[in-house]
């Protein structure tokens, strides 16, 4: 088949693409960031747009030429600067379903989530549930798959959140530790999609893809901690709910600056109510049980890179905020005390030139600090920080070399700030 795969460069979508390729299907990857898609899977055909803009049937027609089946593995956790759930997960998918009916494309597989329901309180589950219902009302040969907590070698969303939590040093902090969670291996989600396309699974049916054994969130995090090779915590503490909610609200705020933190309110809300489903319909349809948590972890590597990822994602917000605050304060203090800053420069530099140098430098510092706060500008802000830092060092060495010996070390302290900007660039990639 020639399959249009929405979200083909995502955590789940990329695994589905690889499995369907192995089965001989031709995949047309659909995504918003085509450059990212071509980097992650250069052997796929790529097309796409922002799903939030494709909310009517006619908008989908150009993307359906020659398509035999559609698999929707696209999704976002909650609204933010880059995501509008009602448009992308509900209206766009409903329009795509109608377009498939009009074009005679019969097969449609929807990757949903346990608890997805049009009446759900959580926007992620509500919009997924609305799309599921639109599919059930259609005349298509549909299958809705609802994976539990998906565990794979890579990590994104809730999986990344749990790895971050498991990497906390010394004391294991937890929120909603008694919540029940059922897991599924990433590879088994991809296999399920392949089985549906091969006609091995009944059509017009909904299946939870979950291992039979539920785990408490506490047990799951501790198992992940052992899997990462980290020492056992000296204590396990339940984080008061208001503190957990407060951290999630800060992560929500960061979402409007383009950051997709796994700590956002939707992730906590989903985990607080549990991630649970019924494995029996899938077992009855296929004769197969899905792998349990221990078996999944035994099949995955746990190496230095998994530990570095967990720890780096844990400290990344603090690093970014530190750099943003450092550059903002540097610029604001420079503007506030520009006369004192001018007085530091030697008399050989005219007062007008010195004042211009100080004011322009302060404005550059403020711009860099603001840039660190926005996800899309992060790399440019970090490069700017390195360039401006080196320019300060060179100019300062020429004009005021005595500051290298200043007991407060104004030049020496530029070096770790520069190194920190380089470190943030190295670990800030999302995929």
Q: What is the pLDDT of residue 130?
A: 95
Q: What is the pLDDT of residue 343?
A: 82
- Give the chain's end-to-end CA distance (angstroms, integer): 28
Residues 199-236: b if buried by 16+ CB within 10 A, e if exposed: eebeeeebbbbbbeebbbbbebbbbbbebbebeebeee
Q: What is the pLDDT of residue 430?
A: 64
Q: What is the pLDDT of residue 233?
A: 92
User: pTM for the complete prediction?
Assistant: 0.84
Superfamily of domain 2-302: NAD(P)-binding Rossmann-like Domain (3.40.50.720)
The answer to whether residues 157 and 313 touch, using CB atoms and an 8 Å cutoff, is no
Which pLDDT tens digit goes with each residue over 22-59? 999 999 999 999 999 999 999 999 998 999 999 999 99
- Spell out where 112-174 has E strands: 141-147, 149-151, 171-174
Q: State how far the Cα of 152 lies from the Cα of 159, in Å rounded to an integer.
A: 8
Which pLDDT tens digit goes with each residue over 331-378? 999 899 888 888 877 777 778 888 888 899 899 999 999 999 999 899
Which pLDDT tens digit goes with each residue over 278-310? 999 999 999 999 999 999 999 988 888 888 888
Q: What is the pLDDT of residue 144?
A: 98
Nearest to 129 by CA among 112, 143, 142, 141: 112
pLDDT less than 70: residues of the chain: 81, 156-157, 430-431
Kindly give the pairing relationship between strand 215-216 and strand 180-181. antiparallel
The DSSP element (H or E) to which 70 belongs, if any, is strand 69-72
């Amino acid at each position: 088949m020639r399959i249009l795969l929405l979200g083909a460069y995502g955590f789940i979508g990329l695994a589905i693409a690889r499995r369907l390729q192995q089965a001989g299907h031709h995949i047309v990857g659909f995504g918003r960031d085509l450059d990212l898609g071509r980097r992650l899977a250069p052997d796929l055909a790529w097309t796409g747009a922002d799903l939030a803009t494709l909310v009517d049937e006619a908008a989908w027609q150009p993307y359906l030429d020659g398509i035999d089946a559609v698999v929707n593995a696209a999704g976002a956790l909650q609204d933010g600067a880059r995501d509008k759930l009602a448009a992308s997960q509900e209206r766009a998918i409903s329009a795509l379903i109608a377009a498939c009916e009009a074009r005679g494309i019969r097969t449609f597989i929807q990757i949903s989530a346990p608890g997805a329901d049009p009446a759900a309180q959580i926007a992620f589950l509500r919009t997924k549930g609305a799309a599921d219902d639109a599919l059930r009302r259609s005349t298509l040969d549909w299958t809705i798959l609802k994976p539990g907590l998906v565990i794979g070698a890579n990590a994104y969303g809730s999986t990344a959140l749990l790895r971050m939590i498991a990497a906390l040093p010394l004391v294991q902090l937890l929120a909603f530790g008694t919540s029940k969670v059922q897991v599924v291996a990433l590879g088994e989600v991809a296999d399920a999609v392949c089985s549906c396309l091969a006609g091995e699974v009944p059509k017009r049916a909904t299946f939870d893809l979950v291992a039979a054994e539920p785990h408490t969130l506490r047990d799951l995090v501790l198992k992940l901690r052992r899997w990462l090779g980290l020492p056992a915590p000296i204590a396990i503490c339940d984080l008061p709910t208001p503190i957990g909610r407060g951290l999630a609200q800060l992560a929500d705020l960061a979402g409007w600056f383009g950051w997709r933190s796994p700590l956002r309110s939707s992730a906590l809300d989903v985990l607080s109510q549990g991630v649970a489903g019924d494995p029996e319909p899938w077992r009855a349809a296929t004769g197969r049980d899905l792998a349990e948590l221990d078996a999944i972890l035994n099949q995955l590597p746990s190496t230095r890179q998994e530990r570095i990822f967990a720890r780096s994602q844990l400290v990344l917000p603090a690093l970014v905020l530190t750099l943003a605050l450092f550059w903002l304060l540097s610029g604001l203090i420079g503007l506030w005390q520009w006369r004192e800053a001018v007085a530091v420069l030697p008399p050989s530099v005219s007062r007008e030139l010195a004042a211009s140098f100080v004011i322009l430098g302060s404005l550059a510092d403020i711009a860099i600090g603001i840039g660190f706060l926005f996800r899309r500008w992060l790399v440019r802000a970090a490069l700017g920080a390195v360039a401006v830092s080196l320019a300060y060092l060179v100019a300062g060495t020429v004009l005021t070399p005595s500051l290298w010996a200043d007991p407060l070390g104004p030049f020496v302290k530029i070096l770790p700030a520069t190194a920190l900007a380089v470190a943030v660039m190295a670990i800030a990639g999302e995929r």
